[in-house]
Amino acid sequence: MKGDKISAKAAGKKAAAAVCAVLAAGLLVALTAGVLGPDEGDETGNLTTAPAGSYDGTAPGGASSGGVSSGGTSSGGTNSTGGAGSDEGPDYSYLGLGAKFYDRFNLDGSVTVTDNSYVSGRVSITLTEIEYEGAVCHVADVYVCDIENYGTVFAKDRYGISWSNKEPTPDMAERSGAILAVNGDYYAGRSGSFLVRNGVLYDDSDADDDVCVLYADGTMETYYEDEFDPQTVIDRGPWQVWDFGPKLMDNGEKMPEDFEFNSSVNPRNPRTAIGYYEPGHYCIVAVDGRNGVSRGLTLHQLSAFFADELGCTDAFNLDGGQTSVMYFNGRVVNDPYKGGRECSDIIGITDK
């Protein structure tokens, strides 16, 4: 049903089950030894379990400094050895989606900020500027511990299909506390498209373009318009769904030169697009264009950029042109055409 929170049932239980499976043996030992008593559970005396993926940014047993430092780029903030879940090394399963990438985070809970990076116990963002095929590409390499760190925001904090429902990307970013933000798919300019934002189903219509789904388990998948099955996606537990496109990669490969994209905007243009490596690791890209320094990219060039230059396994095009704006830590970092324009929604990476 539209308006329902659909991620918790479909994906939260699976994620919670995975966490509980890892911790089950240890909890049983603790209960047997009397370390945890009935007063530390719920009112029935049963143990309560934290929501899957919830993590306060501090390693268990470690003190969080909560401080913000400036200066050199952080390489992960830890000297710990051993892989996530390793039999011989520390167990980083408390990091949720970030367990595999534990060395990307500050495990003491501190925050390190530079002009092109932000690293905390939950989020790691590094910005890089790459010149590719005559275009300046702004790339944000993103790691998150919890899928809720990969959020979206509506203009004026309300859902509505209207061209007047729009706002500058930086305004939405600052209001929502986003560290990194880009414009979204301009959903408000189209009626009757499948739409899920932050786990809530707003429109269950059939797709009218290619579709990108970020699932609650951290997986991101893209679909051609005629292959998209709304009910199958709902059953898996989507966290975000963008209906725009086109889809930029197929089975982990760039699109061939003779491929016809599901789009009428194929020539060089400013672009905003998102890429996927594996659960917990993503990239967000803004490409400058229509100026004397950067020519923008065609869709084939954008596809090749994600596949060959960035090494992504999937990628998806969002609204571009004058709408393409990337915001990071209080400032716009790309060179938007004519200063950019207002839009109906953004993607925002938060640390909360």
Tokens of 76: 């992960």
Q: For residue 269, give the DSSP letter.
A: B
Tell me the CA distances in angstroms from 343 to 8, 20, 183, 241, one per residue in order: 28, 41, 7, 17
pTM of the model: 0.79
Question: Which residues in the chain show pLDDT less than 70?
Answer: 1, 7-56, 58-87
**Whole-number pLDDT of residue 181:** 98
CB atoms within 10 A of CB 141: 18
- Cα dihedral 224, 212, 334, 336 in deg (nearest 10): 60
By residue count, the chain amounts to: 352
Nearest to 8 by CA among 199, 266, 256, 245: 199
Nearest to 146 by CA among 80, 50, 68: 50
| Strand residues in the chain grouped as ranges (E) | 68-70, 111-114, 117-119, 123-132, 135-144, 150-154, 180-183, 195-197, 200-203, 210-215, 220-223, 238-244, 249-250, 253-254, 271-278, 281-287, 314-317, 326-328, 331-332, 345-349
**Whole-number pLDDT of residue 123:** 98
Rounded Cα distance, 334 and 326, in Å? 6
